[in-house]
């Protein structure tokens, strides 16, 4: 009986079986190499934009200092990975560079608003306006209480308690059962936003509790950021308006406006890293930034 001629599929399978066993490993290594190459190209582009800023700003009458610009760039690069904690990171650096407290706060607010706005361009598809409005309603209604606490109690004591709370959460979250989730409804979002309205004026951290709460719900990493980043943006915009009305002589639209450039460059790099993170890696990053914020609050209160 004549031997049957091999079919096309069997020949293809035979050729596939002869392919090197490490072909998948080579493909994976190539992907990682391309990933780092793209990241370095983005870094080079950001460095080029900053260099152009340093070169052209004096020609238009602006004075740009290298140290604050690099501090904003570094802070934005780190904070935009998780979408928050920019104020805590930037404040810990700028406190040694900018002696005027109001000027430093104004610089941080302008840069943070640029960071949050640019990030939302990549997250707008995931934004649920009702969720954000419920949190903002609580934040606006509870903000007077935060202002009252700011002027009636010692800020260092409040920062210490908030820092200890965030540090304790970061430690306890390691032992949290995987099936433990907090409720996600309108009342809870209102209360979470209300607490942010209190911690915003007193500790410059309106997003601390919203971030903690969002990380303990069933929302994914994009949905989490699409909830708390618009909230933080709106609360910080309100703070900047209030600061401008109480300090009309501060140079809001002069040198401070230029911090938008390093903030956007750093945010672009941070978002590139964020897109590559898994849900587990994003949770670890969130806990890391929360712990960083907690330590910053504790140190500032001592």
Complete DSSP assignment for 90-146: HHHHHTTT---HHHHHHHHHHHHHHHHHHHHHHHGGG--HHHHHHHHHHHHHHHHHH
- In the predicted structure, residue 58 carries a pLDDT above the cut 90: no
Whole-number Å distance between alpha carbons of 49 and 67:
16
- Min mean pLDDT across 5-9, 12-16, 194-198 is at 12-16
Q: Read off the pLDDT of each residue in 253-278 and give the average, rounded to a whole number.
A: 82
Q: Which residue has the higher pLDDT, 250 or 213?
A: 213
Average pLDDT value for the chain: 78
What is residue 225's predicted lDDT score, i.e. its pLDDT?
92
Residues 91, 101: contact at Cβ < 8 Å? no
| Confidence tier at 299 by pLDDT (50, 70, 90) | confident
Residue with tokens 């501060």: 250
Whole-number Å distance between alpha carbons of 297 and 194:
20
Question: How far apart, in Å, do the first and last CA atoms of the chain sit?
Answer: 93
What is residue 13's predicted lDDT score, i.e. its pLDDT?
46
At 206, is the secondary structure helix, strand, or coil?
A: coil
Q: Read off the pLDDT of each residue in 29-40 and give the average, rounded to a whole number.
A: 64
């Amino acid at each position: 009986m004549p031997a049957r001629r091999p079919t096309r599929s069997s020949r293809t399978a035979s050729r596939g079986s002869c392919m090197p066993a490490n072909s998948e490993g080579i493909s994976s290594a190539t992907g990682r190499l391309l990933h780092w190459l793209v990241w370095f190209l983005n870094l080079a582009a950001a460095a080029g934009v900053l260099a152009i800023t340093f070169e052209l700003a004096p020609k238009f009458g602006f004075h740009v200092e290298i140290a604050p610009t690099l501090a904003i760039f570094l802070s934005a690069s780190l904070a935009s990975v998780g979408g928050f904690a920019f104020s805590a990171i930037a404040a810990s650096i700028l406190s040694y560079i900018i002696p005027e407290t109001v000027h430093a706060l104004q610089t941080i607010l302008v840069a943070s608003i640029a960071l949050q706005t640019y990030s939302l361009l990549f997250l707008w598809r995931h934004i649920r306006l009702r969720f954000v409005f419920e949190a903002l309603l609580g934040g606006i209604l509870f903000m007077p209480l935060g202002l009252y606490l700011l002027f009636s109690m010692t800020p260092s004591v409040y920062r210490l308690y908030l820092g200890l709370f965030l540090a304790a959460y970061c430690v306890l979250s390691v032992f949290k059962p995987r099936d433990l989730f907090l409720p996600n409804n309108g009342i809870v979002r209102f209360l979470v936003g209300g607490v942010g309205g209190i911690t915003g004026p007193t500790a410059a951290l309106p997003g601390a509790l919203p971030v903690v709460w969002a990380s303990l719900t069933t929302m994914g990493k994009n949905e989490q950021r699409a909830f708390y980043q618009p909230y933080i943006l709106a609360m910080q915009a309100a703070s900047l308006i209030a600061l401008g009305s109480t300090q009309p002589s501060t140079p809001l639209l002069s040198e401070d406006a230029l911090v938008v450039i390093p903030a956007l460059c750093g945010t672009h790099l941070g978002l590139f890293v964020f897109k590559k993170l898994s849900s587990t890696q994003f949770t670890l990053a969130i806990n890391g930034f929360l712990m960083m914020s907690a330590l910053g609050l504790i140190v500032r209160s001592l």
